[in-house]
A and B are shown apart, each in its own frame.
Chain A
Amino acid sequence: MLSETRIVLRNLGRIDPVSVQDYQKQGGYGPLRKALSMKTEEVIAEMKRSGLRGRGGAGFPVWKKWSFTASAQSGQKYVICNADEGEPGTNKDRVILSGDPNSVFEGMAIAAYAVGADRGFLYLRREYPYVAPILDQALENARAEGCLGKNILGSSFSFDIEVISGGGAYVCGEETALIESIEGRRGEPRFKPPYPGVSGLYGRPTVVNNVETLANVPVILQRGGEWFSGIGVPNCTGTKVFTLCGNITQKGVFEYPMGTNLRDIYETHGGVKDNFDLRGFMLGGQSGNLINAGQMDLSMDIDSCQQAESVLGTGTIMVIDDRNDILDIVQNIMSFFIEESCGKCTPCREGNIRILEILRRISGGEGRMEDLTLLEDLAGMMNVACLCGLGQNSSVAVITSLHNFREVYVKAIERGRRA
């Protein structure tokens, strides 16, 4: 049985989320005060020592992102908190934001100080309207206490945060689409490079970090990068906030060190209910991987998942038991991406719907063995050819299920042939 290691969720349930005093009593805004007494490059060096990598899915080293923006020449820079948590089955950012918003604000302020930004935006998922008043109240209280706004904590550093509501598009979780959306345009991704760190919001250098990433920052400043790097596994330090969903007994949001074994997490939270058999997992959300029950011994960190041709992604673990049909799941995922594709680039716009067309043919008993080659061809192309992460990953469920559940496809085709 595992027990949680709570860094990101350190204050959850222990404070009134909107109370800046409560947050301060737990040591909050001490790290920001400390950062303000440091040189900006020392702050970035501390982040480097910590080894913190982005928690939004891509796992890019945070210190590197910050140093791109820090070294970019511009009179105006921005920090954006990506709270457009649209990945179905993922709820960690909602839990963090509604339970301890100041930890994210403080992380943003430290990032802003490190890179030389004075304005921040928190882009909140449209479907989290109940979080908005918490954020607004918490911001107001933090400003009143001098923790945000002009001359923060009596220093010469000024930084304030504006909450922006998304419009309900999944693709706006992609950082450049998010930026387009803040600028008032259709939420469509831009091509990269240039990366936002150099040319982001309104063409200015912009740090875009995920909620969970930012919530880690104050703790790293407070306890030191070295302490942080001792948690987790080498090259993937700290903890991960996992969302357990699907057919697992105990659902919810839980925080474990990076590198925790999937089987341990699964068993700790009760596995599938009695009388059912585990079939597999969907890891990392709809854009993630379908693995089978036999692949359960997996170290849940960014690199190990990648090596196992899986993905940590947002840390979502959807448990699938034998009540579910893999082909159904994959079709459901493709329907989601057809709905959410912005339509900008050819492979995503045209490809997702063709995948679904083929999947329907197979599950409807009209499939041919050549369809499997066609699926691999098409999905493989989309994986390397689409303009943004949405398109590149929309077909991952197809690719991985073809690999890890091939017999399901073959059976459906054979059943169709006999009929």
Chain B
Amino acid sequence: MIRLTIDGLPVEVEEGSTLMEAAKKLDIHIPTLCFHPDQDVKANCRICLVELEGNKLLVPACSYPAENGMSIRTHSPKVRRARRNILELILARHAQDCLHCDRSGTCELQAVAEEMHFVKIPRYPYVARSDESDNSSPSIVRNAAKCINCGRCEYACSQVQTVHALSKVGRGFEVQFRPAYGRTLAESICVNCGQCVQACPTGALTIRDDTQVVWHAFAVPEKLVVAQVAPAVRITLAEALGEPPGSISTGRMVSAMKRVGFHKVFDTDFTADLTIMEEGTELLGRIKSGGVLPMVTSCCPAWIKFCETFYPDLLPNLSTCKSPQQMFGALLKTYYAEKTGKKPEDILSVSVMPCTAKKFEETRPELGRNGMRDVDAVVTAQELARMIRSAGIRFDTLPDTPFDAPFGLGTGAGEIFGSTGGVMEAALRTVYEVVTGKPLENLDIKAVRGLEGVKEASVEMNGMSVKVAVTNGLSNARKIMDLVRAGKADYHFIEIMACPGGCIGGGGNPIKNNAKMKPRLDAVYRLDRELPLRKSHENPAVKALYEEYLGEPNGHRSHALLHTGYVNRSGLLG
């Protein structure tokens, strides 16, 4: 153990602890900006500087190791002076528009300025870092004037996701975190996962706001505004509205959406179940007919763009199934329109997603029909929370309302699509019973659950051992796909989710850190456990849809509506 004193108070910490960890033990708060609990220490913002007795230089508490006998002061006059000077430099270059900033209230720079009681006007004239604002991406907005150059986005993009769309460009005063070669986000290799938005302490990287499209539609009398809500949103919405992580709010969410103005609120769990029927059938078909294996899931649009960019040679491995969002959209504009006698163009198909990449997916030209989009607008959990707040709705006391028919019924299998391993577990529950004709005794396939980056399992079915792998976070996807490319992956089926933790870790959720992921994950499986139906093929609404409209999984109509193709985007790397 290491013994030192901080602000005169003795403290004992494990060897290898930083000064910040030691201070935390004493409940002494040191302000930070570039520090992120899930990332490597950067020590570049210098806001956490503290005074080490006998040292002329101030030392950063985030990186400096605690040593025996040290005497540290966290708010001495020297420290306060330096910190306030540094903050002043940052503020003099940061956009001065807090009042209408997307991150007002959740901004870490705002919080630090408030904590440090910095209420004077900076002594330096305001000079914007850059007046560049990149609105090119359907998913993410980059506002350079709000960047404080902490590097957290680059870490998320390059280290966690290995995409390298955001990198440090230029030197000194001109440094920017942006796509290389002067490209915009839309022109870049960005996969729209939004992990940079999740990592950004300020409003420099935010989610593209699409709520206005929906608000406008509410005002058009002939428009039927129909929403589908992804499984993860019921887990994270309440958190975005101030409740603890993992607060499930399905019924309240539907109530709130109805009050906001949505005419119909459907459950994407329904098309998650449908995905399992299609994807499971596709997998069995590939195994039987010697098709391309391993088959890889296609629910995640960030993963799809990643595969199209970095692994175009492996596109045949991707399942041809559309994502649940796009299956839903296709059904809304065809089956649902026919059934209700609504003209497809009078339906505004809105999806509420934990995901920023869904906004991009919706724009893919192949995912529409007759000049119309299957999904007209994607709003994230963050945006829905804002709609609810701005409609003046008190969320915590709302009564429960069920989803609307006919797409209101989902099983536990659809529910777990929200977390890493969920699609795999749902698929195995169904594939097992289809192959063996016997009920699966233990529905909890624990080997594919949890937040580890790469998980593997093998399930015996009629003498055949089905080998599967599950990854979350694109750096892990890369590991698996490199094995596939090298012919060293003898899996049948691989689930890949771009975001760490799966959709509950998606870029469209309230700002996260790893500590929030465990309660979100637990909530997913709590929902699954509590549902009467936990297997996709048992969903009566799905069965009815096949009987009434689609025919059979992978059949002619299914193919036309529920399957798609991919494009080689490796040119983006050039």
Contact = CB atoms under 8 A, between A and B. Distances in A.
Interface of A: 169, 186, 191, 193, 338-347, 349-354, 357, 374, 377-378, 381, 384-387, 392
A6 to B, nearest CB: 35
Nearest to A371: B123
Please indicate which of the listed interface residues B43, B171, B174 has the most CB atoms of chain A within 10 Å of its own CB. B171
Nearest to B57: A384
Given A350-B92, A384-B78, 4 more contacts: A193-B65, A346-B44, A347-B85, A349-B173
Contact of A381 (B63, B82, B124): B82
Contacts of B199: none
Contact of B171 (A341, A351, A353, A384): A341
A100 B90 CA distance: 48
A381 B85 contact: yes
A353 B127 CA distance: 11
Interface in B91-138: 92-93, 123-125
Contact of A349 (B58, B78, B124, B149): B149
A343 B172 contact: yes
Contacts of A392: 57
B435 interface: no
A339 B172 CA distance: 7
Contacts of A351: 89
A384 B45 contact: no
Q: Which 6 A-B pairs have the closest CB atoms?
A: A343-B175, A341-B172, A350-B89, A191-B43, A381-B85, A343-B172
Nearest to B171: A343
B172 A354 contact: no
A191 B89 contact: no
A379 B572 CA distance: 44
Nearest to A345: B44
B146 interface: no
A393 to B, nearest CB: 11
B46 A350 contact: no
Given A341-B172, A385-B49, A387-B44, A347 B86 contact: yes
Nearest to B64: A193
A342 B149 CA distance: 12
B89 A346 contact: yes
B45 A346 contact: yes
Interface string B171-195: 1111100000000000000000000
B412 to A, nearest CB: 46
A310 to B, nearest CB: 15
A377 B173 contact: no
Contact of B46 (A340, A377, A386): A386
Contact of B90 (A346, A381, A387): A346
Contacts of B46: 345-347, 385-387
B172 A340 contact: yes
A304 B319 CA distance: 74
B82 A384 contact: yes
B168 interface: yes
Nearest to B124: A354
B115 to A, nearest CB: 17
B27 to A, nearest CB: 25
B190 to A, nearest CB: 20
Please indicate which of the listed interface residues B45, B56, B81, B86 has the most CB atoms of chain A within 10 Å of its own CB. B86
Nearest to B34: A346
A326 to B, nearest CB: 23
Nearest to A353: B173
Interface in B260-313: none
15 contacts: A169-B171, A186-B168, A338-B172, A338-B173, A342-B172, A343-B168, A343-B171, A346-B90, A347-B85, A350-B90, A350-B92, A357-B125, A384-B56, A385-B46, A385-B57
B440 interface: no
B344 interface: no
A357 B168 contact: no
Please indicate which of the listed interface residues A339, A344, A352 has the most CB atoms of chain B within 10 Å of its own CB. A344
Contacts of B58: 384-385
B174 A357 contact: no
B60 interface: yes
B173 A352 contact: yes
Nearest to A190: B43
Contact of A345 (B45, B78, B92, B173): B45
Interface string B43-74: 11111010000001110100111000000000
A377 B124 CA distance: 13
Please indicate which of the listed interface residues B81, B85, B90, B92 has the most CB atoms of chain A within 10 Å of its own CB. B85
Contact of B89 (A342, A343, A347, A387): A347
B544 interface: no
B352 to A, nearest CB: 38
Given A193-B65, A385-B49, A350 B44 contact: no
B159 to A, nearest CB: 13
A258 B57 CA distance: 26
A350 B93 contact: yes
B86 A346 contact: yes
Given A341-B172, A343-B175, A392-B57, A377 B85 contact: yes
